[in-house]
Amino acid sequence: MADKPDTGHLMGHVKDSTYFEVPTRLGGKLELPQPFHLDKPLFDVKIGVPHIDSRIEPFDLKITKFMALEVLAAAIIVVIFTRLAQRMAVGGPPRGRFWNLFESMLVFIRDEVARPAIGKHDADRFLPLLWTMFFFVLVCNLLGLVPWLGSATGALATTGALAVVTFLTVIGSGMAKLGVVGFWQAQVPHMELPLVMAIFLKPMIFLIEVIGLAIKHFVLAMRLLANMLAGHLVLAVVMGFVALTWHTSFVYFVAPASIFGSIALSMLELLVAFIQAYIFTFLSALFIGMAVHPH
């Protein structure tokens, strides 16, 4: 009888690590160089919840595969859009599949995401940020579909950093537009209240709104993390059925079903990669729009 699936082993395939998994013929693991790794971490954050603590790595300056993939995603974006900018600099209408593909995606983010959410007069100032977020998340998601790589957006450090960028942009743009005092005053909806009630209610409403502002951006990070992590876990489980039945006669039935199921799920993951990049960018634009136009 086959052994039960090891959940720790499954998580090992989708969590961050200091190596890339490669075919057994190539050694099974490709270790990343660690020129800055510290034997004793500078600090190690624990909140007391085992499932969350297991996802928080100590700050010991080690280089991980998700870091390498983030650099790779950034390099891909730079190469693509440097080439696109060079072609656009000569002027004229878009020519070729490459130019039309990426320009149509840029125009879609501008006309269907940024301007409706932020407003026509303010949206163009935030377009570089939104375009960068969209393509960075998209490329990281797509790299997760490449065998032996991984999805950096399946780590809280990545999605959390992106959410922090949005959070700081929301606060900074709101204070730049409304002033420091005006922005924080705008967190409390305008209400006609007697003075006595206002003294008690408005501070509580302000506190709730500020906490809600932080929670919205935390959920922004967790939403992307959960969707990408869950998809890769499902793929790992489906392919794990082959290993469970490898030494039994069931493998001749399970293996083809697992392979075709993984192909179908990978096609779904391809769609999810685009959808999650769009949702993250749309919600970021929506939060920015709410900050610069609170009413």
Q: What is the pLDDT of residues 100-142, one digit of tens each?
A: 888 899 999 999 999 999 988 888 899 999 999 999 999 999 9
Residue 73 placed within a domain = yes
The confidence score (pLDDT) of residue 1 equals 41
Give the pLDDT of residue 167: 94
Q: Which residues of the chain have pLDDT under 70?
A: 1-13, 26-27, 49, 51-55, 232, 235, 237, 239-247, 250-252, 294-295
Output the pLDDT for position 295. 61
Residue 30 lies in a domain: no
Answer whether residue 156 is part of any domain: yes
Q: Is 98 a member of any domain?
A: yes
- Burial of residue 63 (CB within 10 Å: 0-12, 13-18, 19+) is middle
Is residue 213 in some structural domain? yes
**Number of domains, the chain:** 1
Indicate the pTM of the whole model.
Answer: 0.84
- Is residue 76 domain-resident? yes
**What 8-state DSSP symbol labels residue 59?**
B
Domain that holds residue 107: 7-17+64-292
Residues 126-145 as b/e (b if ≥16 CB within 10 A, e otherwise) read: bbebbbebbbbbbbbbbbbb
DSSP state of 30: E
